[in-house]
Structure 1
C-alpha cells in the first residue's frame, strides 16, 4: 500500500474523529433551544470558516468564484443543499428510531449511495467489477457495511441493558426518514464530484493540492447553510415555546460561554471536511469516490471509540462492549481492504 494512500486513509480518520467529537462541546450549552445552538454553531461551520479559509487561500477571492458559470456553481450548490436536508433528517431519524437503529440504517444507506452512485453515474462501475483493485475496493464497502451493522447492534444491546427507550418510536416514519436521510446526506459526496472543475482551477492558481477542495466548500456549505438555518429560523418563529430573543437574554457570562462552546462545536464540524479534503487529495483519482466510504465508516468507528473513552459504555456488561470492539475491528479491516484495492 503506497504512502500516499496510507496518508489519505489517516486524514479521513482524523476528519471522522472531529465529526465524532463535535457534539461534546455543544452538550455544554445551557438554557438555549437546540435551534439557536445549531444556528450559532452553523454560522461558524458553514459560513465563517469556509469563507475565511478560502479568502486566505485564494489570490483573488471574488475573481475565483466569478470565473465559474451557473453550469458549475448551481449543481455544487444544490448538492450542498441536498446534504443540508440530510443533516436535518438525521436528527429526526434518531428521534423516531433511536440512536442505534437510526445510525445503522442512515449511515449504511448514505455509505452505499454516496460511494457507489458516483462511479455508476460516470459509467465506470463495470470497470471496477472487471479489475482486481476495483473488486477489492467494492469488497471493502461490503465489509464496512457489516462493521457499521455490528457497531449499531452493539448500540442496541447497550440501550437494552441501560433501559433506554425511544419515547416517540415510530417504525414507519423512522424508516422513511432514515432512507431519506441516507440518500440526501450523500449530497456531500456528489457535491465534491461536481466541484472537480473548482478544484482544478484552485490548483492552477497555485493552491496546495491538500487545499484545492476547500474553496468549493463556500458553495457546498452555502447550500447546506440555507437549508439548516432556514429550518431553525422558521421553527424559532412559529414555535411559541422557542425564542431566539429569550435565548440571547440569558446572563452575560452564560451567553459568552454558550457562544464559545457552540463556536467550538461548529469549528469541529467544519474540520471534519477540512481533513476530508486532505484525505481526498491523497486518494488516487480513479478511486476518489471511496473517500465517502472511508469518512462514513470511520465516523462510526470513531463514535464507538469516543464513547468508550467517555465511559458511555460503563456498566453495560461485557457483551455490548465486545460486540462494539468486533464491529470497530471489522471497519478497520474494511479500510485496509480498500487501501489494498486502491494500490492495485
Structure 2
C-alpha cells in the first residue's frame, strides 16, 4: 500500500473524527432552541468558513465562480441541497428510531448509495467488478457495511442495558425517514463528483491538490445551507413554543457562551469536509468513490471511540463493549482492504 494512499485514509479518519465530535460543543448550549443553535453553527459551517477559505485560496474569487456555466454549477448546488435534506432527516430519524438503530440504518444506506452510485452513474461499475483491484475495493465496502452493522447493534445493546428508550418511537415512520436520510445524505458524494470541473479549474489556478476541492464547497454547502436555514427559520417563525427573541434575550455571559459553543460546533462540522478533501486528494481518481465509504465508516468508528472516552458505555457490561470493539476492528479491516484494492 503506497504512502499516499495511507495518508489519504488517515485524513479521512481525521475528518470523520471531527464529525463524530462536532456535537459535543452543542451539548454545552443552555436555554436555546435547537433551531437557533443549529442555525448559528450552520451559518459558520456552510457559509462563513467556505467563503473565507475560498477567498484566501483563490487569486480571483469572483472570476473563478463566474467562469463556470449554470449547467456546471446547478448540479453541484442541487446535490448540496439534497445533502441538506439528508441532514434534516438524520435528526428526525434519531427522534423516531433512537440513536443506535437510526445511525445504523441511515449510515448503512448512505454508505452504499454514496459509494456505489457514482461508478454506476459513470458507467464504470462493470470495469470495477471485472478488475482485481476493483473487486478487492468492493469487498472492503461490504466489510465496512458489516462493521457499521456490528457497531450499531452494540449501540442497541447499550441502550437496552442503560434503559434508554425513544419516547416517540415509531418504526414505520422512522424506517421511512432513515431510508430518505441515507439516500439524500449521499448528495455530498454526488456533489463532490459533479464538482470535478471546479476542482480542475482550481488546480489550473495554481491551488495545491490538497485544496482544489475547497472552493466547490461554497456552492455545495450553499445548497445545504438554504435547506437547513429555511427549515430552522420557518420553525422559529411558526412554532409558538419557539422564540428567537427569547433565545437572544438571555444574560450576556450565557448568550456569549452559547454563541461560542455553537460556532465551535459549526467549525468542527466544516473541518470534516476540509480533511475529506485532503483524503480524496491522496487517492487515485478512479477510486475517488471510496472516499465516501471511508468517511462514513470512520464516522461510526470514531463515534464509538468518543463514546468510550466520554464513559458513555460505563455500566453496560462487557458484552456490548466487546461487540463495539469487534465492530471497530471490522471497520479498520475494511479500510485496509480498500487500501489494498486501490494499490493493486
Q: Which TM-score bucket, shorter chain as reference? A: over 0.9
Question: Aligned partners of 2:241 and 2:250: how far apart in 1?
Answer: 16
Number of the residue aligned with 2:109: 109
Matches for 1:213-232 after TM superposition, within 5 Å? 213-232=213-232
Question: Aligned partners of 2:159 and 2:68: how far apart in 1?
Answer: 49
1:55 is displaced (CA, Å) by 0.2
Number of the residue aligned with 1:247: 247
Matches for 1:15-54 after TM superposition, within 5 Å? 15-54=15-54
1:109 is displaced (CA, Å) by 0.2
Number of the residue aligned with 1:134: 134
Number of the residue aligned with 1:187: 187
Matched residue of 1:211: which SS?
A: coil
Number of the residue aligned with 2:335: 335
Number of the residue aligned with 1:162: 162
Question: Aligned partners of 2:52 and 2:296: how far apart in 1?
Answer: 26
Deviations 1:137-193 (A, max 9, x none): 000010000000000000000000000111001011000000000000000000000
Number of the residue aligned with 1:64: 64
Question: Aligned partners of 1:95 and 1:326: how far apart in 2?
Answer: 27
Deviations 1:222-277 (A, max 9, x none): 00000000000000000001011110110000000000000000000000000000
Question: Aligned partners of 1:17 and 1:105: how far apart in 2?
Answer: 20
1:205 is displaced (CA, Å) by 0.3
1:6 is displaced (CA, Å) by 0.2
Question: Aligned partners of 2:171 and 2:342: how far apart in 1?
Answer: 39
Q: CA RMSD in A?
A: 0.3
Number of matched pairs: 344
Deviations 1:80-106 (A, max 9, x none): 000000000000000000011100000
Deviations 1:55-101 (A, max 9, x none): 00000100000000101100000000000000000000000000111
Number of the residue aligned with 1:82: 82
Question: Aligned partners of 2:236 and 2:337: how far apart in 1?
Answer: 46
1:288 is displaced (CA, Å) by 0.3
Question: Aligned partners of 2:257 and 2:45: how far apart in 1?
Answer: 18
Matches for 1:297-308 after TM superposition, within 5 Å? 297-308=297-308
Matched residue of 1:210: which SS?
A: coil
Question: Aligned partners of 1:89 and 1:218: how far apart in 2?
Answer: 22
Number of the residue aligned with 2:4: 4
Deviations 1:288-341 (A, max 9, x none): 000000000000000000000000001110001000000000000000000000
Deviation >6 Å, runs of 4+: none
1:210 is displaced (CA, Å) by 0.1
1:5 is displaced (CA, Å) by 0.3
Matches for 1:197-216 after TM superposition, within 5 Å? 197-216=197-216
Number of the residue aligned with 2:263: 263
Question: Aligned partners of 1:256 and 1:159: how far apart in 2?
Answer: 34
Question: Aligned partners of 1:310 and 1:194: how far apart in 2?
Answer: 38
Matches for 1:145-156 after TM superposition, within 5 Å? 145-156=145-156
TM-score using structure 1 length: 1.00
Structure 2 residue runs of 5 or longer lacking an equivalent are none
Question: Aligned partners of 2:167 and 2:257: how far apart in 1?
Answer: 31
TM-score using structure 2 length: 1.00
